[in-house]
Amino acid sequence: MSAAIDAFNRWKRCKEAQRPQNALTARYEVQGFIASGTYGKVFKAVSRDKNDKRAFGIKQFIPEGEARSERTQGISQSACREIALCRELRHEHVVALIDILLTPESRMIYMVFEFAEYDLLQMVHFHWHTERRPIPEYTIKTLLSQLLSGLSYLHANWILHRDLKPANILVTADGVVKIGDLGLARLYQKPLQPLFSGDKVVVTIWYRAPELLLGARHYTKAIDLWAVGCIFAELLILKPLFKGTEVKMESKKVVPFQEDQLTKICEVLGYPTASRWPEMDQLPEAATFATRFPPSRFPAQSNLRAMWHESTRHHTGTMPLLAGLLHYNPLQRLSVQAALDHPYF
């Protein structure tokens, strides 16, 4: 039996040697599929260099136009932007780009990243479905402080992430947090074009700040802090805090009004009055909001503390930090440094 297996393995190695290798398979052995999205797919791989014992996450981009069954040449704007940014970034809590590969025969681009075994969404699901108990307080604190540390680095380098959510916050087996997926990230100091003109819609709906939902064309790093607040809440209660139903775009030029998402926010945080957010009336969707959202429909004050008092009774300082991150007014929302300096930690 062993002789037959040895013969089969020799035949397999011979066939593999005859197979034409591209730049990817020549350097990495793909071990399995991790995830997919509009950008393409992510795989786990190891180096063919026997001296390199690391695992890697390889992001494969769909060529521009491929998703629409077009045979157009080119690299997507998202891929170009992510490659350009990731090549310059080096921080313990931002996922590191190791390599960039192009396979001309298949017109594929691959970004090779350091590997992280988990993400925050998996951790939330594990504690909700398997453990059936809250994530320990010390675990939430260390996860959140590392996330804020990575975000502080991005903001210090004039980068907005614009898509922070649990699935994009990676965690290694050693418990190190890595901010990932910078496909929507943008430089916000002297950008080549206005932020709104490049991407009409940013941030996944459940983590999207109210100023974005009300059509803000000019926004700040406060949108990332709102998303951090939503992630913080999800770690505490093991489910999304503002789980609205998204209205999909039917036209690239018209961004739909997200009434259900705003409803979910107002039900928790109360009605956004002029005293709480004076600049709100200047936003493009302010008139639509005023028409569809009479103050009588919603509580006048925030229900954050009342919503899950039992769930957070052991988390000293939780509510002030959460309320600061989820402030309606982006000008009064906590900055990343203020959050890091908060007594909660």
CA–CA distance, 300 with 269 (Å, rounded to integer):
8
Closest-CA residue to 260 (of 193, 213, 300): 213
**In one letter, which amino acid is 22?**
N
Q: Are 164 and 203 in contact (CB under 8 A)?
A: yes
In the chain, % helix, strand, coil (3-state, to 5) comes to 40, 15, 45
Is 281 one of the catalytic residues? no
What separation in angstroms does the CA of 102 have from each of 60, 84, 108, 138, 307? 10, 15, 6, 43, 50
CA atoms within 13 A on the CB side of 203: 30
Contact at 8 Å (CB) between 258 and 213? yes
- Distance CA(145)–CA(154), nearest Å, equals 14
Among 6, 49, 99, 163, the one annotated catalytic: 163
Token pair in block for residue 319: 């509510």
- Nearest Cα residue to 183 out of 35, 334, 44, 73: 35
Q: Which residue has the tokens 């930090």?
A: 321
Q: Give the rounded distance of the alpha carbon of 68 from its chain centre.
A: 24
Residue keyed to tokens 């000293």:
316
| Whole-angstrom distance, CA of residue 71 vs CA of residue 252 | 21
Under 8 Å between Cβ of 243 and 264: yes
Closest CA to 333 of 212, 158, 157: 212
Catalytic residue set? 163
